[in-house]
Amino acid sequence: MHTPGTLFTGIGQLVTNDPGVRSLTGTARLGIVEDAALLVTDGVVTWVGPAASLPTAEAAALAVADAEVVDLEGAAVIPGFVDSHTHLVFGGDRAAEFEARMSGQAYTAGGIRSTVAATRAATDAELAARLDGFVTELLAQGTTTFEIKSGYGLTVADEARLLELASRVTDETTFLGAHVVPVEFAADPEAYVDLVVGNMLDACAPHARWIDAFCETGAFTPEQSRRILEAGTARGLGVRLHASQLSAGPGIRLAVELDAASVDHCTYLTEDDIAALAGSSTVATLLPGVEFSTRQQFPDARRLIDAGVTVALASDCNPGSSFTSSLPFCIAVAVRDMGMTPAEALWSATAGGAAALRRADVGHLAAGASADFVALRAPSYVHLAYRPGVPLAAGVWRAGARVA
Ligand code: NIG
Ligand code: FE
């Protein structure tokens, strides 16, 4: 039966990310409406605009149907965050590695193997309970869409079970069998790549929407990465790639060549990388939690944005390089240390994340979009960066239903 809908009123400032014009920069791209109202029917936004201009027909229909009205009492409302890069199915943690790093040790790709050992040792029930806890944590902070990668199993059975667990909580699942070469294949990495593109891909493709690889010294070469990503494409998976996290290399250009939806990290950028990204539909996903937690240089978001590259911000939540699930934290760091304005950072953590997942239904609040939004305990979105570390999500709705 058609429901009358719910009218959200008392929105002091509404960020729609719907400026009507794609190329606007600065705050204009947020499509802000002051003193706004939002009408939600069957989980979808059906009208948005200044409260005073709610069409008479809609207002009358709502009154007749005795529709629910929710007064948000002047709060700023933003689209739900879209976290396009996480690794949330794993066992153990690496607090000791973090502590050693903060005493001067460098981050290397090899640390992944200790999480692989802990993950293989964990039962499905243990991994699922942990994952459920992370989902609660994400929702409470306003993240309503999230991607999850495998990559801490690295056997056919373990990668498949991680993806099966992830697919219970999100449609955005990514097969990352090529995270690092596991110890048992250390003497013959090519044999591991054969396994990834063979039996492992067979077992994992049914549970995955995307394929990813870690193209970096200490992980996979550009040639190996290309082979793995092309095998995924042949199975109908979309492409994403971890590249240029620890040093510059050809990974970003490889991602663009393969029409990846996103290339992630982009910490070390060359002029050629930026030119390639600027002429492409590949999003550059920046992960401020990584540089924060590994004490590396931050990527230069300003250079990318000024060149016309679409930038997303994501958490990369994982036990090694970035154990935060908070996109408000990432926004604050991106504004402080990566040359982004508060408006650009918010756009990148919402609409940018949606672009990185090639999703048109989330990351914005226009008629037809999923009703995913966050009421902030603040009068303006600027507070996300202005009040770092303060939990500002007062209420969170996904597909029109309150989830936190
Ligand atoms: O995105 N770069 C590769 N993978 C993760 C790190 C995983 C780990 O250290 O466990 C990342 O940073
Ligand atoms: Fe990652």
Domain with CATH 2.30.40.10 in the chain: 6-80+363-402
Q: How far apart (Å, rounded) are the C-alpha atoms in residues 141 and 328?
A: 8
Checking if the pLDDT of 54 tops 60, the result is yes
Q: How far apart (Å, rounded) are the C-alpha atoms in residues 355 and 116?
A: 30
The reported pLDDT for the residue numbered 23 is: 55
Q: How far apart (Å, rounded) are the C-alpha atoms in residues 69 and 51?
A: 12
CATH superfamily of 6-80+363-402: Urease, subunit C, domain 1 (2.30.40.10)
Coil, helix or strand at residue 313? strand
Residues in the chain: 404
CA angle 83, 89, 95 (to 5 degrees): 95
Considering the domain 81-356 in this protein, what is its CATH number? 3.20.20.140
CB under 5 Å of ion ligand 2: residues: 316
E strand or H helix at 303, and its extent?
Answer: helix 301-306
The CA–CA distances, whole Å, from 185 to 37, 113, 162, 176 equal 57, 12, 20, 16
pLDDT band at 364; cut points 50, 70, 90: very high
Q: How far apart (Å, rounded) are the C-alpha atoms in residues 321 and 98?
A: 8
E strand or H helix at 265, and its extent?
Answer: strand 262-265
Q: Which DSSP letter does residue 9 get?
A: E
The reported pLDDT for the residue numbered 110 is: 81
Token code pair at residue 214: 């870690």
pLDDT band at 24; cut points 50, 70, 90: low
The CA–CA distances, whole Å, from 259 to 32, 246, 252 equal 32, 22, 11
Model pTM score: 0.97
Mean pLDDT, residues 77-85: 98
Checking if the pLDDT of 161 tops 60, the result is yes
| Residue with CA nearest ligand 1 atom 5 | 321
Mutate to test the pocket of ligand 1, among 87, 176, 263 (most ligand atoms within 8 A of CB): 87
Q: Is 293 in the pocket of ligand 1 (CB under 6 A)?
A: no
pLDDT band at 20; cut points 50, 70, 90: low
Task: Please state, rounded to an integer, the average pLDDT across all residues of the chain.
Answer: 95
Checking if the pLDDT of 341 tops 80, the result is yes
Ligand nearest to the CA of 87: 2
Q: Is 291 in the pocket of ligand 1 (CB under 6 A)?
A: no
Q: How far apart (Å, rounded) are the C-alpha atoms in residues 346 and 134?
A: 22
| Residue with CA nearest ligand 1 atom 3 | 214
Token code pair at residue 72: 């948000």
Return the closest-CA partner of residue 385 out of 334, 326, 315.
334
| Residue with CA nearest ligand 1 atom 11 | 321
The reported pLDDT for the residue numbered 67 is: 80
The reported pLDDT for the residue numbered 401 is: 97
Atom of ligand 1 nearest to the CA of 264: 1
Token code pair at residue 74: 């002047």
| Residue with CA nearest ligand 1 atom 9 | 320
Q: What is the pLDDT of residues 176-195, one digit of tens each?
A: 999 999 999 999 999 999 99
Checking if the pLDDT of 263 tops 90, the result is yes
The reported pLDDT for the residue numbered 262 is: 98
Atom of ligand 1 nearest to the CA of 111: 9
Return the closest-CA partner of residue 138 out of 188, 93, 85, 189.
85
The reported pLDDT for the residue numbered 299 is: 98
The reported pLDDT for the residue numbered 150 is: 98
The reported pLDDT for the residue numbered 170 is: 98
Coil, helix or strand at residue 109? helix
Return the closest-CA partner of residue 215 out of 182, 241, 187, 185.
241
Q: Is 320 in the pocket of ligand 1 (CB under 6 A)?
A: yes
Q: What is the pLDDT of residues 208-233, one digit of tens each?
A: 999 999 999 999 999 999 999 999 99
Give 45-106 as a DSSP string: EEEEEEGGG--HHHHHHHHHTT-EEEEEEEEEEEEPEEE--B-----S--HHHHHHHTTTPP
Checking if the pLDDT of 7 tops 70, the result is yes
Checking if the pLDDT of 145 tops 80, the result is yes
HSE, side-chain direction, 13 A CA sphere, residue 131: 28
The reported pLDDT for the residue numbered 28 is: 85
pLDDT band at 93; cut points 50, 70, 90: very high
Domain with CATH 3.20.20.140 in the chain: 81-356
| Residue with CA nearest ligand 1 atom 8 | 320
